[in-house]
Structure 1
Amino acid sequence: MSEGVKIIAVNRKARHDFTIDETYECGIVLMGTEIKSVREGKISFPDAWAEVKNGEIWLNSFRIAENPFSSIFNHDPDRKKKLLLHKDEIKRIARRVEEKGYTLIPLSFYFKNGKVKVELGLCKGKKAFDKRADIRERDIQREVSREFREKLH
């Protein structure tokens, strides 16, 4: 992430459960009361996913809490949100999603120059043995760095 970026939320579970092949930065279409709730960090997306429909990408299972200070014109917290990408990117993503096992998962939400952005990952599910291998590799790396620090002192 570069300058002018403020991270709202990160989906750490996605990096554990999926192998991420590509990432895309997307804009997201929000209503006025939704952006107020996002600024307050009142979002939830543990099982969120995106799909390609009619040449557009839609984010599902992404919940933005209602703003309690808003009037009767509040938003529906569970509505599908449209993601903004270039047409050629959408076509490329649609071809990859049609392949077996690929899913679109939101990896993080952040503000970039005052606009809400979504980091969307083209992911493939990990098997249980893949997860164990990643944990084993992380533990080995931790041991190596610990030994290296001890030798410096």
Structure 2
Amino acid sequence: MAKKKKTPNDKNVMAQNKKARHDYAILDTYEAGMVLTGTEIKSIRARRITLQDGFAQIRNGEAWLMNVHIDEYAEGNRFNHDPLRNRKLLLHKKEIKKLQDAVSDKGITLIPLRIYLKNGVAKVLIGVAKGKHEYDKRETLKRRDQQRQIDRVMKRY
């Protein structure tokens, strides 16, 4: 019997990039760990993180999370972290190779979809994404509205 993939509970999700699914078509997802300092994980647990402009890159055979803002820890001292520093992602070599091959195609990018806690460890869900055109976004909204209307009518009967 095949195992079901566990999805993070809403209470474990620390940050989510809702706009990503609107602006991009998500082709595939990967779960990765992050190399964090002590004050960064404390800020993440306090939900002081923004994924809005974040993206991932493959450099020298390593995956990096760029432009993700993790606020400085309020009770931190002079050893507090830089909020916009680049963070290394922990992936297997095979996964990094797959991501590198995917990104080599034109119009494909890696974006963080959500950051959540799994067994007390911060994980990031990376999406292999292709940008949507404006007419694709309108088509998606139209299809969603039509499905909502159908569900409303079916609920009555």
Q: TM-score, normalised by structure 2?
A: 0.93
CA drift of 1:2 comes to 5.2
Question: Corresponding residue for 1:128?
Answer: 134
Contact 2:16-2:51 at 8 Å conserved across structures: no
Following the alignment from structure 2 to structure 1, what is the Cα–Cα distance between the partners of residues 141 and 69? Answer: 30
Q: Residue 144 of structure 1 aligns with which residue? A: 150
Query: 2:74, 2:84 → 1: CA distance?
Result: 16
Runs of 4 or more above 6 Å deviation: none
What is the CA-CA distance between 1:70 and the residue it aligns to?
1.2
Q: What SS does the aligned partner of 1:22 have?
A: strand
State the match for 1:70 in structure 2.
Answer: 76
Superposition map of 1:3-152 within 5 A: 6-151=12-157
Contact 2:15 2:51 in 1 (8 A): no
Give, in whole Å, the separation in 2 of the partners of 1:128 and 1:87.
36
Size of the aligned set, in residue pairs, is: 150
User: Unpaired runs of 5+ in structure 2?
Assistant: 1-6
CA distance in 2, matches of 1:68, 1:132: 41
Q: CA deviation at 1:150?
A: 1.4
Residues in 2 aligned to 1:144 and 1:71: alpha-carbon distance in whole angstroms: 55
Cα displacement (A) at 1:71? 1.4
Give CA deviations for 1:22-55 in whole Å, capped at 9, x if unaligned: 0000001100011110110000121100100000
Partners in 2 of 1:53 and 1:2 — Cα distance?
Answer: 28
Q: Structure 1 regions of 5+ residues with no counterpart?
A: none
- TM-superposition CA deviations, 1:60-102 (whole Å, max 9, x none): 1101101121111111111001111000110011011011110
Local SS of the residue matching 1:70: coil
CA distance in 1, matches of 2:69, 2:132: 25
How many percent identity over aligned positions?
A: 48
Q: Cα offset for 1:10?
A: 1.1
Q: Residue type of the partner of 1:24?
A: Y
User: AA paired with 1:88?
Assistant: K
- What CA distance in whole angstroms lies between the structure 2 residues aligned with 1:2 and 1:12? 15
